[in-house]
Structure 1
Amino acid sequence: MKTVIIHGQSHKGSTYHTARLLADKLGGEVTEFFLPRDFGEFCTGCTRCFEVGEEKCPHFAKLSPITEAIDAADVIILASPVYVFHATGAMKAFLDHYGWRWMVHSPEESMFTKQGVCISTAAGMGTGSANKDMADSLFFWGVARIYKLGFGVAASDWQGISDKKRKTIEKAAERTAQKIKSRHGRVKPTLKTRAVFFAMHLMQRKGFNPRDVKHWQEKGWTGNVRPWKS
């Protein structure tokens, strides 16, 4: 099993350790990226990725190693501490660069057989909204199964977390790891994902963006082909 972790910060605090805990329980090969250290560019809104192709993005070369790792992974972990009730600005700036991959545009076929996990920690509240920031992208990329782990740790760093809270985190990570491993190699999209895909299928049969229409037609998705096994 291959896992990629996108850390929404460059320091190794509570969120980092929680993500690593899950990855270690999953086993296999783990690739990590830290934002903004490994990618810190802001989307310029040029729309070239939508209209022509993602390779026309001014940040394409810098983003490519992360994209390649995501595409090669079985499990995608997006991990972000809570900043003012949301994911970090670095995580948001990163995810902005993949708007072209949303189901309404030109989704990547392999996403429909992957699993994803959103992880957030906070001293207090806000993990729900931070995880939603990240889960929205995973869902609209087409990721088949998405899990969310959010913890109010009542501490400012990993060392300050109580033993009781650490045990809670470890148990949740273990449960999630078991679910992921049980579905590995045979994961299928949820009914909600299939319904959204079908709606996009109907839209792309007429289409409004030539680049997206071409993508869907080449995949056979405007017909009876689907990016997952029936």
Structure 2
Amino acid sequence: MKITVIHGQSHKGSTYNITKQIIDKILDTNKEIYEYFMPRDTPNYCIGCYNCFNESENSCPQAEKVQKIVKSMEISDIIVIDSPTYCFEMTGQLKTLFDHFGYMWLSHRPKQVMFNKVGIVISTAAGAGARKVTKALAQQMFWLGIPKVFQYSKNVSASNWEMVPNKVKKSIEHDISKLSTKVQSKVGKVSPNFRLKFIFTIMGMMQKSNNWNKVDQNYWKENGWLDKKTPW
């Protein structure tokens, strides 16, 4: 089993530790993990050059870092993305990475392999806001075509993992034991739901009349998606 893990921050706090526990509890003796930390492994800010849309993803000035992460995602069974809660949002470093994934959205050039992945999004906060972050992360995964995304958010009542009350840690352990079992049961067995299929169909209708970006339209044609073929 291959797992890509993208951490929205470089420090190993509550969010990191919960992510690690979830991965550890996924029972597979041959786990292969590709792990990235923001901002060390993130590309620089998107400069809005539109090269990824109008030419190719390899024309992006940050392509080397972006495509390294994308390749890991493509070959993985599970994609895990976590972020501590910063001012009710994901970290700025992680948003920078998502900005570079725009060309892979359902509205542009979604990757067929994404339609059989399982996603996990995780966030913690000392107070409120973590659920808002996991919702935003799950939305990003949806637009990449990932059909099943598990969300886990937690108010840990502490600014670092060492200070998290034992009662809260026990609650987390209980939660992630159930979550890891659910994740395992879905690997290799997921398919798009009605909403994802509906959005894909709408995007296909848009691409048929696409006279503003032939790179996108040709991509859909080459995949046969304008002729009733689907990526699932």
Runs of 4+ displaced beyond 3 Å: none
Which residue pairs with 1:76 in the alignment?
79
Question: What amino acid is aligned across from residue 50 of structure 2 in structure 1?
Answer: T
TM-score (normalised: structure 1): 0.96
Report Cα offsets for 1:94-149 as digits up to 9, x if no partner: 11000000000000110000011110000000012211221121000000101110
- How far off its partner does 1:40 sit? 4.3
1:137-156 equivalence runs, <5 A: 137-156=140-159
Structure 2 runs not aligned, ≥5 long: none
- How far off its partner does 1:51 sit? 0.6
Question: CA contact under 8 A between 2:142 and 2:196: conserved in structure 1?
Answer: yes
1:1-230 equivalence runs, <5 A: 1-26=1-26, 27=28, 28-208=31-211, 209-228=213-232
Question: What amino acid is aligned across from residue 224 of structure 1 in structure 2?
Answer: K
> 3-state DSSP class of the match of 1:81?
coil
RMSD: 1.1
Query: Residues of 1 paired with 2:139 and 2:97: CA distance?
Result: 13
Identical amino acids, percent of aligned pairs: 38
Question: CA contact under 8 A between 2:131 and 2:154: conserved in structure 1?
Answer: no
> 3-state DSSP class of the match of 1:3?
strand
Query: Residues of 1 paired with 2:167 and 2:195: CA distance?
Result: 36
Question: What amino acid is aligned across from residue 124 of structure 2 in structure 1?
Answer: T
Query: Residues of 2 paired with 1:174 and 1:193: CA distance?
Result: 28
- How far off its partner does 1:198 sit? 1.1
Question: What amino acid is aligned across from residue 81 of structure 1 in structure 2?
Answer: P
Question: What amino acid is aligned across from residue 211 of structure 1 in structure 2?
Answer: V
Question: What amino acid is aligned across from residue 5 of structure 2 in structure 1?
Answer: I
